[in-house]
């Protein structure tokens, strides 16, 4: 097939797909939750992956008479108030007290839209195709974002943002967001192992006594996190020497449990310490062989 004809065929079917988006472009209702794994490409030194979650917690009526849904915390575009219909995804801009049309579902492929949102000045629909995610057939739409910073985003009508590649100002470091799981209309898709349901999010920090205690050779330590942040859980001997690190990463609010195995240690008293930016607690435990 002639190359020009081939490109025209692709464009034709892309336009058909893009203009048959028959439902809201973003699934928004209270309780919907998205969980992403973020990997960091080309960082020096290398960085471990991190995780980020945002959730629809409520809705509100804006001055333009439209209902916007409230994200908590903000999404990857620093968006707090969002709404969607079959044509656009809109964000509310508190600076101008107006809504911004950010993603144009009915755009022609290759058409550049002016958006002026979160450091991005333009949004271009670069492709539209059908694929499978979480065993569900979906229409996926790819956008290139340009401006002060650059990014690529994938959006689907069933699951919202499925991936996000933050390119910054085209420097080597890149943040690659991938949707690992979500809760849509009370249905769980994929996995959300690090994130408790919204109703289970605790309101205080707590370090529990290990159990069993005394123990031989292993015991479990449960702790509660109320604020997202970097968390460490370390074990020390009676002289204050660090024996091992059980947790050393960012944690979302929730209740966690880890196992400590002292099989290679001597009998005696040990201490375990939970540390976050706002909380610190230490407890003792007894190992008896």
pLDDT tens track for 182-210: 999 889 899 877 544 444 556 788 898 88
- pLDDT value at residue 22: 39
State which H helix or E strand residue 249 sits in.
strand 242-251
Contact 110, 126 (CB under 8 A): yes
Residues listed for the chain: 289
- pLDDT value at residue 169: 59
User: CB neighbours (10 Å) of residue 97?
Assistant: 10
- pLDDT value at residue 113: 92
7-23, pLDDT tens digit by residue?
444 444 444 343 333 35
40-49, pLDDT tens digit by residue?
888 777 778 8
**172 — pLDDT class (breaks 50, 70, 90):** low
Reading the block at residue 244, the tokens are 């091992």
Reading the block at residue 249, the tokens are 């990463």
Instruction: Give the separation between CA 42 and CA 282, rounded to whole angstroms.
Output: 37
Cβ-defined contacts of 194-197 (< 8 Å, 24+): 194/35, 194/51, 194/251, 194/252, 194/254, 195/33, 195/35, 195/51, 195/53, 195/252, 195/254, 196/252, 196/253, 196/254, 196/255
Burial class, 63, CB count within 10 angstroms (exposed 0-12 / middle 13-18 / buried 19+): exposed
- pLDDT value at residue 281: 92
Instruction: Give the separation between CA 78 and CA 92, rounded to whole angstroms.
Output: 11
In terms of pTM, does the model score above 0.85?
Answer: no
- pLDDT value at residue 192: 79
Burial class, 60, CB count within 10 angstroms (exposed 0-12 / middle 13-18 / buried 19+): exposed
Q: Which one, of 143, 162, 89, 120, lies nearest residue 81 by Cα?
A: 89
Reading the block at residue 35, the tokens are 């969980």
- pLDDT value at residue 202: 65
Q: Which one, of 188, 205, 209, lies nearest residue 197 by Cα?
A: 188
Radius of gyration, CA atoms only, the chain: 24
């Amino acid at each position: 097939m002639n190359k020009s004809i081939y490109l025209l065929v692709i464009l034709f079917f892309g336009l058909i797909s893009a203009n048959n988006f028959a439902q809201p472009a973003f699934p928004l209702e209270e309780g919907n939750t998205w969980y992403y794994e973020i990997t960091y490409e080309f960082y020096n030194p290398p960085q471990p992956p991190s995780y980020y979650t945002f959730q629809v917690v409520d809705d509100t009526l804006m001055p333009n008479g439209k209902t916007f849904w409230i994200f908590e915390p903000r999404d990857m575009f620093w968006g707090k108030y969002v709404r969607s219909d079959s044509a656009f995804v809109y964000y509310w801009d508190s600076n101008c007290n107006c809504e911004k049309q950010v993603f144009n579902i009915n755009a022609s492929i290759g058409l550049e839209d002016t958006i002026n949102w979160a450091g991005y000045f333009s949004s271009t629909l670069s492709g539209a195709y059908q694929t499978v995610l979480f065993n569900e057939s979906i229409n996926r739409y790819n956008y290139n974002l340009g401006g002060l910073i650059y990014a690529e985003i994938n959006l689907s009508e069933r699951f919202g943002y499925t991936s996000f590649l933050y390119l910054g100002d085209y420097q080597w470091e890149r943040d690659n967001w991938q949707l690992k799981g979500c809760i849509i209309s009370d249905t769980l898709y994929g996995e959300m192992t690090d994130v408790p349901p919204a109703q289970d999010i605790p309101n205080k920090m707590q370090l529990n006594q290990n159990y069993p205690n005394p123990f031989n050779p292993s015991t479990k330590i449960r702790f509660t996190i109320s604020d997202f942040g970097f968390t460490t859980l370390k074990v020390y001997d009676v002289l204050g020497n660090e024996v091992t690190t059980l947790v050393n990463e960012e944690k979302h609010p929730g209740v966690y449990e880890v196992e400590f195995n002292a099989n290679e240690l001597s009998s005696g008293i040990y201490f375990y310490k939970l540390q976050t930016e706002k909380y610190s607690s230490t407890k003792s435990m007894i190992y008896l062989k």
